[in-house]
Structure 1
């Protein structure tokens, strides 16, 4: 879990500007947190898609957000879901040779012996020479991709800078209105 807070110097600036309206500071913090959540959610999708071969819709479906409300200046982005079916990634079937799968954009296609694509059920894996048993092959889940260290190294600085900028912007906006 990532915890990001507003710079204490920014809070002091807000208190000095909005001394007559202390409730406006809380509203500014809530608005800044909600805007940061929206931006980070977009960046999560972009950074995951930069590393993995996956559609944005699959990522968006797995992300849940909890926005800041009055009295609770806290926001959250949660990634939930199971491991994704190989059909969510790049599968290529040729007449000769094994089917290949590509999960990472940086990696090459990996041949998977016994893998074939069923017309209705998608990719299936035959583990034995006999027709059955068949198993459904899976790749990584969105929470695994989201929790990756490389992904977090990119997202944390973006979230911190966005929160600071938005908080100061919201305070200045509210100061101009009063």
Structure 2
């Protein structure tokens, strides 16, 4: 089968013409490939200032599935990242400057608990999450810090757009998605169909 031109805007028509599973597979591959490119573009700016991996950035990126208009391809950069993604470390912290251990080997010493530090920005070093602790691979803090019975809530850091801090970089990633996704889809579907026909 010669290489054909397939338009990502014609998904429904292509599913009628070919095996729908092949079309969906080509779409999934193309979305993942384009998302990786977008993550690379955004991470170059982001990782200059923030201690975050390209993989963690990519996890926050999703691309709108397009059916009618490829020009509407949109890169969603997600909400704020869980604070646990910023290299947490546990450490002992004092409970109160006035509270002392009443008995045991540490009697008279300041009472303490396990706290957690994170490194969000590279220029600020590690910082203590006030009132926070590490549990179940997440960082939590009481909803009301003055009430030890209040509900624990998961803590979040900045979002990808906040870390990039440059609207022009975000727009460049959006433009790249609009241009790259249709070509990726065309190439991937051609590959799948050619392989199925025994031509690759």
Q: Please, what TM-score do these two structures have when normalized by structure 2?
A: 0.45
Go from structure 1 to structure 2 and tell me whether the alpha carbon gap of 1:111 and 1:74 turns closer, same or farther (over 3 Å shift).
same
Structure 1: state its 5+ residue gaps: 1-36, 67-71, 160-178
Conservation of the 8 A alpha-carbon contact between 1:43 and 1:155:
no
1:124 counterpart = 2:132: no
Distance 1:58 1:46 in 2: 13
Shift of 1:129: 4.4
Q: Which residue is equivalent to 1:113?
A: 130
1:145 counterpart = 2:163: yes
Please say which structure displays the higher CA radius of gyration: 2
Distance 1:123 1:38 in 2: 27
Distance 2:139 2:153 in 1: 9
Shift of 1:79: 3.4
Distance 2:45 2:70 in 1: 26
Distance 1:109 1:123 in 2: 15
Distance 1:51 1:112 in 2: 19
Deviates more, 1:45-54 or 1:91-100: 91-100
Q: Which residue is equivalent to 2:50?
A: 52
Conservation of the 8 A alpha-carbon contact between 2:118 and 2:128:
yes
TM-align CA RMSD: 4.0
Structure 2: state its 5+ residue gaps: 1-34, 95-114, 176-200
* Higher share of residues assigned strand: 1
Go from structure 1 to structure 2 and tell me whether the alpha carbon gap of 1:73 and 1:106 turns closer, same or farther (over 3 Å shift).
same
Q: Which residue is equivalent to 1:135?
A: 153
Conservation of the 8 A alpha-carbon contact between 2:39 and 2:54:
no
1:14-61 deviation line (CA, Å, top 9, x unaligned): xxxxxxxxxxxxxxxxxxxxxxx9866522122212221112112113
Conservation of the 8 A alpha-carbon contact between 1:40 and 1:155:
no
Q: Please, what TM-score do these two structures have when normalized by structure 1?
A: 0.50
Shift of 1:139: 0.8
| Equivalent position SS for 1:117 | strand
Conservation of the 8 A alpha-carbon contact between 2:46 and 2:163:
yes
1:93 counterpart = 2:99: no
